[in-house]
Structure 1
Amino acid sequence: MTPRLLLASSSPYRRALLERLGLPFTTASPDIDESPRPGESGNQLATRLAEAKALALREQFRDHWIIGSDQVASLPDGTLLHKPGTHEQAARQLQESSGHNVVFHTGLCLLDATTGNRQICCEPFKVHFRPLDPTEIDSYLRREQPYDCAGSFKMEGLGITLFERLEGHDPNSLVGLPLIALNRMLRHWGCNPLLAAD
């Protein structure tokens, strides 16, 4: 069984990850408020936003399985890191992360728009940043310009040079879509990417 899949995201990173499963899909961008609620943890925020993204497109795509995902990074003190948007904010984030462990929470929701049934999880992934000096941070940002990435780096590029080690179940979740968990959800509903028709 190959359902009609919709990725509720305009992210080129998530699109590239989902393509790896070899299933046909379309994309659409949900319009939701991504502001954190008072006292909301990174795990709670990522999970809530992943579900909200999928639900936001349910009326338009009633015969689809909708994949919603969102990522939030948090410093050891609980401070949330968002997409920096600017060089200055990215430099500030990387300086705050320098020498620390940052946890990336990637929320995932698979919604059957027809029935309303959904599977939801949040995949944590810990990044151990090495100590970074301001010259390294500035050079990295000017070379890669990761201003649309939570945490201010691209793990699949030069961002790997910022770390001492990585710790987690699925490195894809660090890029923005936990493929191991998504594959498990798809198989649970009877869609095995390995057995899908070509």
Structure 2
Amino acid sequence: MNTLILASTSAYRKQLLERFGLPFEVARPETDETPLPDETPDALAIRLAIAKARAIADHKPNALVIGSDQVACIGNEIFGKPGTIERAHAQLRRMSGQDVIFHTAVAVINSDTGKVQSTLVPTHVRFRTLTTDEIERYVAAELPLDCAGSAKSEGLGITLLDALSGDDPTALIGLPLIALSRMLRNEGIALP
């Protein structure tokens, strides 16, 4: 079996991939995440997932490399990882009462054959109307500074939402396991 490599240092993606019970390595991809001019949020997510996988696959023979990226948006307005408490507050104020799409892309590259598989799994999220106090309490409690859109649905962030819908509940956390399991099976990996 080829070495399985997760091209991400995200603790969330690592925890999700561990659900498969397969041995894997983690590698940090060096990828410029700047959107291209006029690039749509979904195209950005796919491009970055592939670029992250390729950044590792180009240097690792006998590997299946997994790349993933998530872009939150309202229309074409993109919300990345806030990085600071102030930006998290601003993102959540903007998303308050809004419908937000979280585009989560996953890619698998076989470094031996060069085969690239990729797909996009959108999750539609309706944020409830949030007060300033609720936003401040949430950010202080969970510090979601490394999450696109400033909300961790797998934690306390679920309380910020009115509804969500999508094809894969793990996509919103950052790695769509249903799509990924299909890609890995296509590469001959037995998942039950």
Specify the SS of the correspondent of 1:36.
coil
> 2:80·2:149 contact (CA, 8 Å) conserved in 1?
yes
> 2:57·2:64 contact (CA, 8 Å) conserved in 1?
no
Match of 2:49 in 1: 50
Q: 1:104-183 residue pairs with structure 2 within 5 A? A: 104-183=102-181
> 1:3·1:191 contact (CA, 8 Å) conserved in 2?
no
Aligned-pair RMSD on alpha carbons? Answer: 0.8
Match of 2:83 in 1: 85
Show CA shifts across 1:146-167 (max 9, x none): 0011000111110000000110
Report the CA distance between 1:3 and its aligned residue.
3.1
Report the CA distance between 1:60 and its aligned residue.
2.2
**Stretches (4+) displaced over 4 A:** none
* Cα separation, 2, equivalents of 1:143 and 1:108: 29
Match of 1:36 in 2: 35
1:48 maps to a residue whose letter is: R
2:131 maps to a residue whose letter is: D
* Cα separation, 1, equivalents of 2:59 and 2:182: 26
* Cα separation, 2, equivalents of 1:90 and 1:25: 32
Structure 1: gaps spanning 5 or more residues: none
The answer on 1:11 being equivalent to 2:10 is: yes
* Cα separation, 2, equivalents of 1:187 and 1:33: 30
> 1:22·1:193 contact (CA, 8 Å) conserved in 2?
no
> 1:30·1:56 contact (CA, 8 Å) conserved in 2?
yes
